[in-house]
Amino acid sequence: VQGVALPVSGIRWGSASLGIRRPDRDDLAVMAIAEGSTSAVVFTRNRLPAAPVILAREHLALTPPRFLLVNSGNANAGTGALGMRDALTTCRALAMHGGCATEAVLPFSTGIIGEPLPVARITEALPRALEALSDDGWMAAARAIMTTDTVPKTSAVTVSIGGIPVTITGIAKGAGMIAPDMATLLAFVATDATVSKPVLGACLEHAAARTFNRITVDGDTSTNDACSLVATAHAPAPPITEPVGEAYQAFSSAVTEVCRTLAQAIVRDGEGATKFVTIEVGGCPSEGAALDIARAVANSPLVKTALFASDPNWGRILVAVGRAVSPDIDVERLTIHLNGLCVFRDGARAMGLTEEDARAAMAVPEIVIAIDLGSGRYATTVWTCDLSYDYVRINAEYRS
């Protein structure tokens, strides 16, 4: 459920203000993880990852993390060797205060690219963040990791494992990028269930592939994207150690649900977004083909500007489908529906379709574009938003 943040036994968040950009609000958050927890993280696929991504990946391979250290306002990306040293310095400072190995701290940064990380400010603020650590710190942390998101994003569910309820709670920040260079998706999810590390990794990969990797605001992938999943084993539910069976399925579905809620909240809060758009592609010979088509439609500036205008412009959808590289398409079998209204069938505009009906179907803030190739049994869903004047204003005008 969006906007809810249930405590997770074994997880505490503390936040503090670095006093740079926004003295009135926190921009540093620390997650303290109970000993005995397992953790998994998925990182950006961008080939030029930021320093904290490189370091977090190294640390994660060495030892189970005890702290996540998150700052907003500075991405520590495009900062070279200095950026690596700075990230390490902040991890070392937190490890000293927290009484753990430096490798047990994972750093995450979001904000401006190419500026040096404010290391001294971060190390000075760490004791305040640690003092603030609390089971109830999720919502404060959700606010602290925001850059120019307009709302904090949280989600939580409870699910029964072997008859025992466990909690899964997550927070995320998104693609609201009012200041140029700010573009990162960060998500932190935790549960009190007992889950082995390989199974936790499989759950997170599965969830991320179907949620965070199925949203697009503008088709760009940040240098800093990361999503973590921690299992504290504090609940008395039976352990999940194999990626099969009823308990695994229930847990994995619940993790995916929490991630989906967070991912959709990011799209709803996308830059300049006025529409929430679901693109459902079915009848494909493979899931890859469905995804290629869904992404081609979702990232088409022509489709996105038509959505902004509430214009039932199926011609632009047709062009984007035809541009997708994967499959050969039989146009006679292709159908396109806009919010349930068939606009394209039998190779041409649907018989009897009126401009009035089509416009009425689009004149709502949530739009489902359903595309069926009629050539297979694979399907996928992608979520996106429209392209408005405000997108250009937000990304062009701030520094002008």
As annotated, the active-site residues are: 184
Stretch that binds a copy of itself, among 31-39, 204-212, 239-247, 305-313 (CB under 8 A): 305-313
Residue whose CB is less far from a copy of itself, 167 or 388:
388
Tokens found for residue 231 = 């299992």
Residue 174 contacts by C-beta under 8 Å, 6 or more apart in sequence? 149, 153, 185, 265, 266, 267, 269, 270
| Near a copy of itself by CB under 8 A: residue from 122, 157, 183, 255 | 183
Residue 222 contacts by C-beta under 8 Å, 6 or more apart in sequence? 44, 46, 75, 183, 184, 185
Residue whose CB is less far from a copy of itself, 79 or 90:
79
Count the residues of the shown chain that bind a copy of itself, applying the rule CB under 8 A.
67
- In the complex, least distance from residue 133 CB atom to a copy of itself, rounded to whole angstroms: 33
| Near a copy of itself by CB under 8 A: residue from 23, 24, 61, 80 | 80
| Near a copy of itself by CB under 8 A: residue from 23, 24, 81, 246 | 81
Applying CB under 8 A, does 35 fall inside the site for a copy of itself?
A: no
| Near a copy of itself by CB under 8 A: residue from 209, 319, 360, 368 | 319
Report the SS3 class of residue 39.
Answer: strand
Question: Cα separation of 315 and 310, whole Å?
Answer: 14
Site string for a copy of itself, 221-250 (x = CB under 8 A): xxx---------------------------
Applying CB under 8 A, does 315 fall inside the site for a copy of itself?
A: yes
| Near a copy of itself by CB under 8 A: residue from 313, 339, 381, 384 | 313
Tokens found for residue 14 = 């503390």
Applying CB under 8 A, does 363 fall inside the site for a copy of itself?
A: no
Applying CB under 8 A, does 374 fall inside the site for a copy of itself?
A: no
Position 265, amino acid: A
- In the complex, least distance from residue 43 CB atom to a copy of itself, rounded to whole angstroms: 12
Q: Single out the residue of 334, 338, 333 nearest to residue 369, CA to CA.
A: 338
- In the complex, least distance from residue 28 CB atom to a copy of itself, rounded to whole angstroms: 22
> Which 281-300 residues touch a copy of itself, going by CB under 8 A?
299-300
DSSP β-bridge partners for residue 383: 215, 278
| Near a copy of itself by CB under 8 A: residue from 200, 306, 338, 369 | 306
Residue whose CB is less far from a copy of itself, 102 or 375:
375
Residue whose CB is less far from a copy of itself, 83 or 137:
83
Question: Cα separation of 269 and 299, whole Å?
Answer: 17
Instruction: Check if the beta carbon of residue 76 is closer than 8 Å to that of residue 87.
Output: yes
- Residue 80, classified by CB atoms within 10 Å of its CB into exposed (0-12), middle (13-18) or buried (19+), is exposed
Question: Cα separation of 176 and 268, whole Å?
Answer: 10
Q: Single out the residue of 108, 118, 19, 121 nearest to residue 67, CA to CA.
A: 108
| Near a copy of itself by CB under 8 A: residue from 36, 198, 301, 374 | 301
Rounded to an integer, what is the distance from CA 153 to the centroid of its chain? 10
| Near a copy of itself by CB under 8 A: residue from 24, 246, 328, 356 | 328
Applying CB under 8 A, does 357 fall inside the site for a copy of itself?
A: no
- Residue 271 to residues 20, 216, 218, 298, 396: CA-CA distances in angstroms? 24, 11, 9, 15, 12
| Near a copy of itself by CB under 8 A: residue from 331, 364, 365, 374 | 331
Question: Cα separation of 388 and 277, whole Å?
Answer: 14
Backbone φ and ψ for 52, nearest 5 degrees, come out as -60, -30
| Near a copy of itself by CB under 8 A: residue from 310, 339, 380, 381 | 310
Annotate 290-304 with DSSP letters as a single string: HHHHHHHHHT-HHHH
Stretch that binds a copy of itself, among 25-33, 150-158, 196-204, 217-225 (CB under 8 A): 217-225
- Interface residue list for a copy of itself (CB under 8 A): 46-49, 77-83, 112-114, 177, 180-181, 183, 218-223, 299-302, 305-306, 308-311, 313-316, 318-324, 327-329, 331-332, 334, 344, 346-349, 387-389, 391-393, 395-397, 399-400
